[in-house]
Amino acid sequence: MFLRFLRTNLSCQHWLAGGLAFCLLFVFSPQGVRAQGLSGVTGTITDESGAVIPNVAVTVTNNATGVSSHAVGTSVGSYTVTDLIPGTYTVKFEKTGFQTSVLNTVYVDVGKFATADAVLKVGNIAQAIEVTAAPIALETTQPQLGTVVEPKIAQEVPTLIGGGPGNIGPRDRQIDDLIFLAPGVTGGEFEHRINGGVSYQNEVMFNGVVAVQSETQGMQSNINPPFEMVNEIEVLTSNFGAQYGLAQGVASYRFVSGSNQLHGDGFELLRNTILDAAGVSPPGTTGPDSSGYYHPGPTPVINQHNFGFSLGGPVFFPKLYNGKNKTFFYVSADWFRLNSTDTGTNTIPTPAEV
């Protein structure tokens, strides 16, 4: 009995060790292995005369998470920092013999490189000059054309719930409804076209990774994360970069990231018969009676619930690990319930037909 217990205990320890190792690998894996459609910051560093300054230390810090990325300028004064999640950043430039320059509120869009140039003045590195970046930055590194649906729009636009009892179901609240905010997108959830392209030919990307499908490429009915997961969307319409393959249009989504503050929400979207008004006329009639009166029709029968929650923040284990400015989590889940009468009919073979 003791040996059997010992063997079981050792086996459990091995499983626990393996599971812990896997979790640590997942949590501490570097950001650089995650994305293909990259976002970042690029620019050129010069002095007051316009001459480039080589080998400048550049620090790019996410204002929400405190996570910093570092780079060193090239011999011609240029720099690039890649694989940044969309958001607002602070860019700091440091070099001995020059005053430190800090560029605030540099906004990085999904799938784009923000341009953040700096002009350093001669002086003590301990002196700092802070500059507020322009609210709108031109794309200078990629030729593609597209529209960015920014976080504020993605989070506050009214949620699409469908158009009536004949048009309800889980597909009525899909994140790809948001791509219709971009000009040139036509069709519906099941079949849509970007900038006149062919149906089922646009590429879908989640956090820079292509969502590959065996057929009906571009249809997202079976691969729709919750609405609350969406941070920002870019809809590319033409002149695509090489990383987008041969797609006729691109819908690129970036998901919400946790930050240093613990935050979350819950929601319930309800449609119920008692909240619906009656129709204007009974079934089988198309207009008023002889006196011009429209008879009220039956009230649509529907009981629909869509509910869920989101939670994000730093990874924190007391006395073991503090993820502030290091590691973050964000989880979102939703459920859909629809109680309705089954009006469909099917015919099965009779014994004689079999």
Q: Name all domains of the chain by residue range, CATH numbers in brackets.
A: 33-132 (2.60.40.10), 145-255 (2.170.130.10), 263-339 (no CATH)
Q: According to DSSP H, which parts of 76-191 are helical? A: 151-156
CB 85 within 8 A of CB 257: yes
27 sits in which H/E element = helix 2-28
In the predicted model, what is the mean pLDDT of residues 344-349? 81
What is residue 302's predicted lDDT score, i.e. its pLDDT?
Answer: 78
Interval 309-344: pLDDT, tens? 999 999 988 777 787 888 899 999 988 888 766 667
Quote the CA–CA distance of 208 and 231 in Å, as a whole number: 13
pLDDT value at 11 more than 60: no
What DSSP string describes 185-212?
A: EEE-SSSEEETT--TTB-EEEETTEE--
What is residue 25's predicted lDDT score, i.e. its pLDDT?
Answer: 41
What is residue 292's predicted lDDT score, i.e. its pLDDT?
Answer: 66
Interval 107-163: pLDDT, tens? 888 878 888 999 999 988 777 788 776 666 666 667 778 888 887 887 777 655 443
Residue 341 sits at φ, ψ, to 5 deg, of: -75, 135
The structure tokens 């089954």 sit at 342
Interval 219-248: pLDDT, tens? 887 788 888 888 888 898 887 777 776 678
List of residues 6+ apart from 203 with CB closer than 8 A: 210, 217, 218, 244, 245, 247, 249, 250, 251
Interval 24-57: pLDDT, tens? 444 444 444 344 557 899 999 999 999 999 999 9
In the predicted model, what is the mean pLDDT of residues 77-106? 91
